[in-house]
A and B are shown apart, each in its own frame.
Chain A
Amino acid sequence: MVAPAEQVLLQRIREGRLVEGPEHATERYLEGLKRTLVVSADTELISAPAYLRAARHAPSLNAYVSALGIIQDELGHAHIAYRLLEDLGVDTEALVYERSPEDFKYPYAFDVPLDSWTELVVANAFYDRAGFVLLGDIFRHTSYGPWKRALVKVDREENFHLRHGERWMEILASDPSTKAELQRAVDWMFVMTLEWFGLPDHLKRHTEQIEYGLKGSTNDQLRQQWMSTAVPLCERLGLKVPAHYDPDRGQYVIDCPFPAEFDEASKRWRFEEGPVSWDAVLARWRRRGPANEEFVEQLQRGWRQLRAVA
């Protein structure tokens, strides 16, 4: 079947009718959709080894089971996105098991290993909230029908992850002996999540993605949306974060040099060096971070071993 022309597709999207498959789309739309799906799938998938590494530090059996439940959800979410890619003709086995670690498309944040239960629950409260904001935007605005329907369940489950993270942050904040460690985790992970949303709007135009209904809001709007719940959470728990609400401007303002250089060894932002360019950030992302190879290796090891004996 000949794919309809660009105008027919754009008309369909403007009328709010969903794209149900390649027969409704153009090559350019499908390429954009696949790129977006790969980022989502890779992000959910890599969170499994990243969270599992830290779950070992769970303070009780119930806490450990909660952490494992979250990891299982994330694998389910990854499976949904890869399955949608498979339906679009992508060889997902090669995509997951044969890609080089540095070619995975998840945010740099997951390359920085989580080393404690405290960092894991802050990841649930911050990183899963970023995922929730991004996927919520896609759920509301995507023009691709199969993805929209699949996201109903994903959205509900991410809710539980956020609550788990918030509940544990509350517990850790209520005791001075654990609050200091919590604050240290917040110090690097808050800015790490701000960075997650990518280039600011004056450097990145989203015309194509928004025209195609692949996303509804811009990077800066999504970053604002994340801060609008993450900042009040931290303020309520008496945790300091480098951002505040400015009533005159009607938005959140970042109070530290941003973007900044990140010291991977000490997990600390080098604010004293002032802001760096987004080109420097993109270069760091492309180099990938300390745990990239370890996590991808963990995902691919079993597949390679099976293939060796088959």
Chain B
Amino acid sequence: MPTAEQVREVLRSVLDPEYPVSVVDLGLVRGVEVDGAVVRVRLTFTSLGCPCVELIQEDVRRAVLQLEGVEEVVVEQVFEPWSRQHISPEGLRRLREVGVV
């Protein structure tokens, strides 16, 4: 079984569909829980009308399923408030590079 930390680590490879920033650095991952072979990821989005909800969920599911011992990934949409304050310093740096923030 992976640890929650390992799950977070693999989520660092899941990039936002538009910009080269991971969902972790973007501040979208709001909780990770490992329960045997089932991994639960709580995800928020940058807005209620985020056009990439389905793409991000699919990418998260695919990435976590690659971890050994994981048989099921449950993505829970939490829609907790999100603002640029949730972006990590690394995320801000990469967004600045593509002229977004």
Contact = CB atoms under 8 A, between A and B. Distances in A.
A68 interface: yes
Give the interface size bracket for A toward B.
10 to 19
Given A65-B49, A157-B18, A159-B18, A164 B55 contact: yes
Interface residues of B, number: 15
Interface in B23-74: 49-55, 58
Given A156-B20, A160-B18, A65 B51 contact: yes
B18 A66 contact: no
B27 to A, nearest CB: 19
Nearest to B49: A65
B100 A66 contact: no
A160 B17 contact: yes
A156 B55 CA distance: 15
Contacts of A205: none
A145 to B, nearest CB: 13
Interface in A35-85: 62-63, 65-70
Contacts of B17: 159-160, 163
A167 B20 CA distance: 19
Among A62, A150, A167, find the residue whose CB has the most chain B CB atoms closer than 10 A: A62
A152 B18 CA distance: 11
A65 B55 CA distance: 12
Contacts, number: 44
B18 A62 contact: no
Prevailing SS type, chain B contact patch: loop
B99 A153 contact: yes
Contact of B18 (A68, A156, A167): A156
Nearest to B59: A163
Given A153-B98, A153-B99, A153-B100, A66 B19 contact: no
Nearest to B53: A62
Contacts of A160: 17-18, 51-52, 55
Contacts of A167: 54-55, 58
Contact of A69 (B51, B58, B100): B51
Interface of A: 62-63, 65-70, 149-150, 152-153, 156-157, 159-160, 163-164, 167
Interface of B: 17-20, 49-55, 58, 98-100
